[in-house]
Amino acid sequence: MKRRLTAGVFYFHSIYSHLFIFLLMKTILTLLILISSILYSQNSATITYNFYSNGSPAGTPPLVLEASSKISRYTNASGETFYIDHTSAKTYQSTALKNGDIVTDEESINNYPIPELQSDTMTILGYLCKKAHVVIRSNHIDIWYTTQTEFKGTPSVNIGPALGLVLKIIRNGNFEITAEKLEVSSENISLPASFGEIVELPYYRYKVTAQNYTTVNIFQNEKINYGDKPVNLLTNSPDITYRFSEGTVILRKVKLPENMGAHSVVAELTERSTGDAYDRTGSLFIIPDITKDTSLTFIDAFINGIKALPLYETKNKKDYRGFTLTDKYTPPIELMRFITPFGIGHYNSQVQVYNTVWQDSVTYKQDITNLLPALQGEVWFGIFIGCYDKGGHNVSLNLKYYPDDVPQEPAPVSKEWIQPLLFTTNIMEANSQEYATIFGSDTLKVTVDIPEGLKSLTLRYISTGHGGWGGGDEFNKKVNYIFADGKPVYSFIPWRDDCGMYRKYNPASGNFPNGMSSSDFSRSGWCPGSTSLPVDIPLNLKPGRHTFSVYIPMGKPEGTSFSAWNVSAVLIGKY
């Protein structure tokens, strides 16, 4: 009886033990389902990346990547949003432009470089990461990615978008993008309802970049030739193109943006021959709009003729006018000196040279930021090309203001003093203005008053020698000597040895039996189809009146051939 009771008790306890285990397992299963449900609802993650250069913060704002198993996205410091659709294996680079339009580039992940998988591992934010390596445009890039999570994405869409979740990128061993925080969430990540206009990547980049800088069109497809009389009398009206000196000069007053401090400004001048076959001196200049006193400018010469400008007294008694600053006259400020190539565009089909493809036009680009204080408000712009051809040339001019940082708010231009001193290019050549042969008998001198308070002073100097025969200064090295108050401050030989680089712009250039072309020969500070680079000369002068002098040992004439030197100089002072 006792044994039977014990067995019953054992049986009773056994039933309850199984029941307890069953209930425990059911509870655990319920918890697992609940946890799984919670985890499933946390179907995205936010990963914060920081940027480092040589181990130190790179100064770039953190990048936040939102990632799920299907879609990932991030927005860079410039406001572009990048998406990766892991299901369709496509990426999208999208921007809302300032005018409200949306443009997007769509790419297949298969178009990106395929990384090489490696055996190295590293733990980042608790995840075991594998290593991959890829070379993109000569940059060696190490990629650390994990497959221990369902989340996928990369902080750079073209670097490892198909690997998993990229947590670190190292470029060339010294630049890092590193994930430093990962937070899971239940936010649903999806593609936008519309990507706007889908465009090719080059056009996308153009549209996005173009909205970050300011373009001002000065001239558009204007003719410069010889033989055309002015079509209208000069008034003070803006946005009208005036033509002077038998059509070899165009002039226009333009309203420029103001408060463009923290910007770089670049002049872009495009030229194409419409009949002229020769290399010609060209000058892009502005004319100070002086209204506060009775000073003369080159505007007076255009209205009343070159004799309206002051005469420079010389030993050879020639009628040199408009070359130097005086108490009553302010010369133009030269922004860019350029020399046209031999017949670019017009003669392309008429001259064939083996293994040479002619360019249709040439675009001269020059940074003129140091003259930015003079490039605000209403400004007179002029372009001169010294041609004697009825067909002449076609020109366009844009000024582009590039912000130092993006985004960039307009800021006042720092206070600077800009004073033109010299301008010897005879831009009224067609109306009998003398060539700058003055250096054959005289040193060119100019006197100027330097104001108080300048912290630095620089002379911006441009010089090109002309005289296109064997003994002419175009083909012979000549030293330019610059003096201040009789003391030498700078000397150099303006010379170009790289003229052969511009052969593709010169279809009408003469070809010689020795294999050289005329456009290939080295010259005095210029090449056909190039600009003449300014020289910036630092000065240490006290406030007050000073005299600058320029001496060039110019060669003597031979028969009807003669040399000349086109020189411009501008003082730039910073307060």
Mean pLDDT value across residues 157-172: 97
The share of the chain scoring above pLDDT 70, in percent, equals: 90
SS3 62: coil
Q: What pLDDT sits at residue 515?
A: 87
CA distances 155 to 82, 143, 168, 188, 209, Å, are 9, 11, 9, 19, 21
Q: Which amino acid is at 294?
A: T
Distance CA 69, CA 84 (A): 10
Q: Are residues 490 and 529 in the same domain?
A: yes
Q: What pLDDT sits at residue 233?
A: 66
Q: What pLDDT sits at residue 333?
A: 98
224 inside domain: yes
Mean pLDDT value across residues 307-327: 95
Q: Are residues 116 and 230 in the same domain?
A: no
Count of domains in the chain? 2
CB 211 within 8 A of CB 401: no
What is the average pLDDT value for the chain, to the nearest integer? Answer: 91
Q: Are residues 187 and 255 in the same domain?
A: no
Confidence of residue 291 (pLDDT cuts 50, 70, 90): low
Confidence of residue 411 (pLDDT cuts 50, 70, 90): confident
Mean pLDDT value across residues 324-328: 95
Confidence of residue 408 (pLDDT cuts 50, 70, 90): low
pLDDT exceeds 70 at position 28: no
Q: Are residues 184 and 272 in the same domain?
A: no
Q: Are residues 199 and 226 in the same domain?
A: no
The share of the chain scoring above pLDDT 90, in percent, equals: 82
The 10s digit of each residue's pLDDT in 30-73 is: 444 444 434 434 589 999 999 999 999 999 999 999 999 999 99
What pTM was estimated for this model as a whole? 0.85
450 inside domain: yes
pLDDT exceeds 70 at position 437: yes
Confidence of residue 290 (pLDDT cuts 50, 70, 90): low
Mean pLDDT value across residues 495-518: 94
Q: What pLDDT sits at residue 17?
A: 54
Question: For the domain that residue 505 is a member of, what is the CATH number?
Answer: 2.60.120.1570
Of the candidates 370, 363, 375, 285, which has an alpha carbon nearest to the alpha carbon of residue 330?
A: 285
User: Which of 164, 184, 206 is a domain's end point?
Assistant: 206
Token representation of residue 521: 């020969």
pLDDT exceeds 90 at position 323: yes
User: Which of 172, 206, 240 is a domain's end point?
Assistant: 206
Q: What pLDDT sits at residue 229?
A: 75
The 10s digit of each residue's pLDDT in 60-115 is: 999 999 999 999 999 998 899 999 999 999 999 999 999 999 999 999 999 999 99
32 inside domain: no
Q: Are residues 277 and 388 in the same domain?
A: yes
What domain range is 121 assigned to?
A: 44-206
- The residue that leads in pLDDT, 194 or 13, is 194
Query: 142-163: b or e for each residue (b if 16 or more CB lie within 10 Å)?
Result: bbbbbeebbbbbbbbbbbbbeb
Kindly provide the residue ranges of all beta strands, DSSP E only, lying in 137-213, ordered along the sequence: 139-146, 165-171, 175-185, 197-198
Q: Are residues 316 and 444 in the same domain?
A: yes
55 inside domain: yes
Q: What pLDDT sits at residue 383?
A: 98
According to the 3-state scheme, what is the secondary structure of 235-283?
CCCCCCCEEEHHHCEEEEEEEECCCECCEEEEEEEEEEECCCCCCCEEE
Q: What pLDDT sits at residue 33?
A: 41
| Burial (0-12, 13-18, 19+ Cβ within 10 Å), 501 | middle
**What sign results for the dihedral spanned by CA atoms 376, 380, 384, 389?**
positive
**What sign results for the dihedral spanned by CA atoms 151, 155, 157, 158?**
negative
Mean pLDDT value across residues 529-537: 97
Question: For the domain that residue 97 is a member of, what is the CATH number?
Answer: 2.50.20
Q: What pLDDT sits at residue 9?
A: 43
Write phi, then psi, for 7 (nearest 5 degrees).
-65, -40
> Angle at CA 472, nearest 5°, toward 470 and 473?
125
Q: Are residues 192 and 99 in the same domain?
A: yes
Q: What pLDDT sits at residue 410?
A: 66
Q: How many CB atoms lie within 10 A of CB 395?
A: 25
Q: Which amino acid is at 190?
A: S
179 inside domain: yes
Token representation of residue 303: 């209205």
31 inside domain: no
Q: Within 13 Å, how many C-alpha atoms sit on residue 242's CB side?
A: 19
pLDDT exceeds 90 at position 11: no
Q: Are residues 378 and 244 in the same domain?
A: yes
Q: Are residues 187 and 65 in the same domain?
A: yes
Mean pLDDT value across residues 235-261: 89
Lowest mean pLDDT of 234-243, 337-346, 382-391, name the range.
234-243
pLDDT exceeds 60 at position 293: no
The 10s digit of each residue's pLDDT in 129-146 is: 999 999 999 999 999 999
Q: Are residues 275 and 363 in the same domain?
A: yes
Confidence of residue 180 (pLDDT cuts 50, 70, 90): very high
pLDDT exceeds 70 at position 193: yes
SS3 534: coil
